[in-house]
A = this chain, B = another copy of it.
Amino acid sequence: MGKNGMGRYTVGLDIGGTKILGALLDPEGEVVATVRRSTVHGAEGLVSGAAEAVRDVAASGGVEVTALAGVGLGIPGIVDHRSGTVKHAVNLGVHDDELPLAELLSARVGGVPVVVENDLNVAAVGAAHVLERAADRAGRAERADRAGGGAADGAADGAADGSREHEDLAFLALGTGLASGLVLDGELRRGASGAAGEIGHIPVDPLGPECPCGQRGCLERFASGKALEAAWPARHGKPSPVELFEAARAGDQEAVVVRDRFADAVASAVRLLVLTTDVRHVVLGGGVAQLGTELLDVVQDALREQAKVSAFLGSLRLAERVRLAPTHVPVAAVGAAVLGRRG
């Protein structure tokens, strides 16, 4: 059967303020091509740029655009996934009251159905998809090993035991701000008003600093890229988190204090997510997570430290639930492509 005959390929785009990342997913859910372009601001630039990204990544994978089963978009801003519209995506230069993005893009890609989703939601769906497939592969390899090194069967049978344990997670985005996307029991949780996962604006300190949202002591004021920059402004032209962690590693005691306070705040966000939703995994993503294992290590240390005073917290094994977002694929674009399958 030819690729186009399958009709189950989908494309996902993660549209950010500076770049568009795209991924082509094959019918088995494997990423077979990716693309990266600069974002052109404004409604027309956004739609034509997205259309070109779809064509590019489909072509890279040898798939006709018109043969795609669907396209998914992840976009910052207020998204109505039912109507496929976006409101006030100001960092994309879209000031329209309501931009019918799904409809406009669909018209540019031969009528292929387009779904639009919040950027955190696609990231959560993508992380669940990628981690679940990795676990599947590991499981198959292990079973093949046990069977004497024979080839594992090709079916995606990891879900056959009903576990799908990675499809229960929060994607905790440590970007400029702090927010999360939730996949619970395999389902994207949007919430009644699309506000699920907006933990950045939960106050955690009555005496904390004022937040632009109007409240005081919001979690985002302690656990976000912006909070880190305020506490440790970049002095050497690198991103503030990189400079902070370098200084701490070099033994700068002030940097160690700032780093550990930040790690404690991220750990508090993890604790909050688990004590409300009890997600199996919390995946650290966003710009600050580019620090990689160095970040993971200090956050896990902070979680173990918090658990020392509380047997109850200890029983939740929070440190073991945290992991880094996969970096070998554009997770949010993959999530958008997964949602494109359901379009």
A residues near B, CB below 8 A? 165, 168, 182, 184-185, 187, 189-199, 201-207, 213-215, 268, 271-280, 306, 309-313, 315-317, 321
Known: A189-B184, A213-B313, A271-B202. A276 touches B276 (CB 8 A): yes
Residues of B within 8 A of A312 (CB): 201, 213-214
Partner of A214, one of B199, B214, B313: B313
Decide: A198 and B277 in contact? CB cutoff 8 A: no
Decide: A199 and B168 in contact? CB cutoff 8 A: no
C-alpha spacing A213/B313, complex, angstroms: 8
C-alpha spacing A278/B193, complex, angstroms: 7
Residues of B within 8 A of A321 (CB): 192
C-alpha spacing A75/B317, complex, angstroms: 24
C-alpha spacing A277/B279, complex, angstroms: 11
Residues of B within 8 A of A191 (CB): 274, 277-279
| Closest chain B CB from A202 CB (angstroms) | 5
Nearest-CB residue, chain B, relative to A268: B203
C-alpha spacing A201/B282, complex, angstroms: 18
Decide: A278 and B206 in contact? CB cutoff 8 A: no
Partner of A277, one of B189, B206, B313, B317: B189
| Closest chain B CB from A194 CB (angstroms) | 7
| Closest chain B CB from A113 CB (angstroms) | 20
C-alpha spacing A204/B271, complex, angstroms: 12
Known: A185-B187, A203-B204. A215 touches B309 (CB 8 A): yes
